[in-house]
Amino acid sequence: MAKENFEIGDKEKHLLTVDVSIFWKKIKIELDDEKLVDKGHFTPGPEQFTFDVGTDEKHKVEVSAGGFSPTKVLVDGKEVEGTKG
């Protein structure tokens, strides 16, 4: 599985983890160790997911993951870099 971590927020920090397996055909997305997505993925292209993150410091998070495309995460419309985990 290709697992990447993304830090969300400035003062109110959150950890978004995206785990994609082409072999097992699964996508898992967690926010602060709480499961948001755990599903099979059977198409060659990526799927799109959108979440609101934070309570005092709110952010719109968009995730594009799955298939043969690299994982892409946008926070408030700006792409953020992940770290392999």
Dihedral of the alpha carbons of 46, 74, 61, 26, in degrees to the nearest 10: 30
Beta bridge partners of 72: 64
pLDDT at 56 over 90: yes
19 confidence band (pLDDT: 50, 70, 90) = very high
Cβ neighbours of residue 32 closer than 8 Å, sequence gap 6 or more: 14, 15
Each domain of the chain, given as residue ranges in start order, spans 2-84
Percent of the chain topping pLDDT 90 = 81
Q: Which fold has domain 2-84?
A: Lipocalin (2.40.128)
Q: What pTM value is reported for the model?
A: 0.91
What's the rounded mean pLDDT across residues 7-27? Answer: 94
